[in-house]
Amino acid sequence: MFKVIKIHFLFFILIFSNISGKAQCGTVISTFPYTENFEAAPSWTSGGTNSDWAWGAPTHPIINSAGGGTKCWTVGGLSGSFYNYSELSWIMSPCFDFSTLNYPWISFKIFWEDEFKYDGMVLQYSLTGGTTWINVGAYGDAVNCLNDNWYNYNNITWLTSSSPKHGWTGRTGATSGSCQGGNGSLGWVTAKHCMSSLAGQANVRFRFLFGSGTTCNSYDGISVDDIYIGNAAPNVANFSYACAGANTVNFTNTSLMCPTGYFWDFGDGTTSTVMNPSHTFSGPGTYNVMLTASGPCNASGSVSIPVSILGATTTISNVTCNGANNGVANATAVGSVGPFIYFWAPGGGSSSSISGLSAGTYTVSVSAVLEAAMEQRMQLRQEELHLTPIYGPQQEVQLQMPQD
């Protein structure tokens, strides 16, 4: 009698484990990235209530190929257009050790073709060996370069073991009678999502959970393929800049990935958190401008680029007498190592000095590669009138002839 009771008890444990998705881990995966294309073996296990998950090459009317290669996992078998009634089934991953993952992220290919609103699938994780399950992400999560093609409905009727009942649901074709249509994937799409809450977790397991009702099940089902798990790609910070005159520079963020936070250090004791700031420097010089790009759920990236602000000092030799044309003007660029480009007007000179000048107003424009051009004006006068140069974006020095 004791043996009979023991056998029934073990039988109950096996049934309970099958329904809840609790199973022994076996080999724990701790090397990343983890990639699984399901070509060589099923790799994941299936189970649950009324499960008709199948591994292989799908030949359904609509889901008639794998996401990559020839094989994938499909609920609804590999052929025909029907998935089981009252199904609450899953495919479950091996166990993972995320101790080395600071920014865990998952992507996979998915093709859904089932009744909209009523039947559907969710991705869940467990940190308790399958005793409890939590949804990965949520309906309405922000879409960006790391999160995309996530759940398309927030209350799938027959996902009774999911709270909330978010997931993928829908099919090709419009509603027909009581069978809800629309919102199918219309092909293989790549779903991806950050899993920040799992960073550093040593015992992680995933399952795709599918639920269906008792009517309107004559559709292909849902397929999953090409799973990738690893750290999200880090931000790669970068920026360009353009001079706007008067020591002002306009900065443009060109960072790769999709950062959501920006911290600029302009190298002069000032900072900004604007995505594309404009900054006015106090004077000529070379400033090491650093940008740190962070978010949404991946490692930050930083870059430092020297930005030179040009200035110029000027000297003049006034004309010596009324009507003479022996004035000289000189410009010396500061704030950068050059090479510099000079342009005088009038006169058209292209060196740092210009001679043979008569009384009048002269403008010199000084520029260097990737740096702002600065402009100063000088007015030449007769020699006995000395005008001290005024330093700034523009400078005027007059040369005047004596009055009769």
For residue range 112-138, list pLDDT tens digits in order.
999 999 999 999 999 999 999 999 999
Closest CA to 359 of 316, 404, 319: 319
State how far the Cα of 263 lies from the Cα of 290, in Å rounded to an integer. Answer: 8
- 339 shares its domain with 268: no
Q: Please give the DSSP secondary-structure letter assigned to residue 359.
A: S
The answer as to whether 15 is a domain residue is no
Domain boundary among 309, 335, 368: 309
The amino acid at 70: T
The answer as to whether 399 is a domain residue is no
State how far the Cα of 308 lies from the Cα of 290, in Å rounded to an integer. Answer: 14
Instruction: Give the per-residue pLDDT at 169.
Output: 98
- 73 shares its domain with 25: yes
Burial class (CB in 10 A: 0-12, 13-18, 19+), 255: buried
The answer as to whether 28 is a domain residue is yes
* SS3 (DSSP) at 3: helix
Asked if residue 161 lies in contact with residue 240, where contact means CB atoms within 8 angstroms, the answer is no
Return the structure tokens found at 183. 């919102």
- 302 shares its domain with 354: no
Reported as a single tens digit per residue, the pLDDT across 86-106 is 999 999 999 999 999 999 999
- 170 shares its domain with 293: no
- 267 shares its domain with 219: no
- 275 shares its domain with 220: no
- 281 shares its domain with 316: no
- 305 shares its domain with 323: no
- 315 shares its domain with 303: no
* SS3 (DSSP) at 287: strand
Q: What is the pTM of this model?
A: 0.81
The answer as to whether 400 is a domain residue is no
Q: H/E element holding 5?
A: helix 2-20
Q: How many CA atoms lie within 13 A of 114 on its CB side?
A: 34
For residue 375, the domain's CATH number is 2.60.40
**What dihedral angle (degrees, nearest 10) is formed by the CA atoms of 319, 322, 324, 327?**
10
Domain boundary among 231, 249, 282: 231
Q: In tens digits, what is the pLDDT along the chain, a chain of 404 residues?
A: 444 433 333 333 333 344 455 556 778 999 999 999 999 999 999 999 999 999 999 999 999 999 999 999 999 999 999 999 999 999 999 999 999 999 999 999 999 999 999 999 999 999 999 999 999 999 999 999 999 999 999 999 999 999 999 999 999 999 999 999 999 999 999 999 999 999 999 999 999 999 999 999 999 999 999 999 999 999 999 999 998 878 999 999 999 999 999 999 999 999 999 999 999 999 999 999 999 999 999 999 999 999 988 888 889 999 888 888 999 999 988 888 778 889 999 988 889 999 999 999 998 888 876 565 666 665 666 543 333 333 334 444 444 444 44
- 210 shares its domain with 317: no
The answer as to whether 3 is a domain residue is no
**What dihedral angle (degrees, nearest 10) is formed by the CA atoms of 69, 169, 229, 143?**
120
For residue 97, the domain's CATH number is 2.60.120.200
State how far the Cα of 76 lies from the Cα of 64, in Å rounded to an integer. Answer: 12
Instruction: Give the per-residue pLDDT at 311.
Output: 83
* Residue span of the structural domain in which 97 resides: 20-231
Reported as a single tens digit per residue, the pLDDT across 250-297 is 999 999 999 999 999 999 999 999 999 999 999 999 999 999 999 999
The answer as to whether 290 is a domain residue is yes
- 252 shares its domain with 226: no
Q: What stretches of 190-296 show up as alpha helix (H) in DSSP?
A: none
The answer as to whether 84 is a domain residue is yes
State how far the Cα of 175 lies from the Cα of 171, in Å rounded to an integer. Answer: 9
Could you tell me where the beta strands, DSSP code E, fall in 32-119? 34-36, 45-49, 53-56, 72-75, 88-96, 104-113
Provide the domain count of the chain: 3
State how far the Cα of 235 lies from the Cα of 301, in Å rounded to an integer. Answer: 5
Domain boundary among 309, 332, 354: 309
Asked if residue 114 lies in contact with residue 171, where contact means CB atoms within 8 angstroms, the answer is yes
* SS3 (DSSP) at 12: helix
- 349 shares its domain with 249: no
The answer as to whether 387 is a domain residue is no
Reported as a single tens digit per residue, the pLDDT across 160-183 is 999 999 999 999 999 999 999 999
Asked if residue 252 lies in contact with residue 240, where contact means CB atoms within 8 angstroms, the answer is yes
Instruction: Give the per-residue pLDDT at 11.
Output: 35
CA angle 259, 260, 266 (to 5 degrees): 80
Residues contacting residue 2 through CB under 8 Å, at least 6 positions apart? none
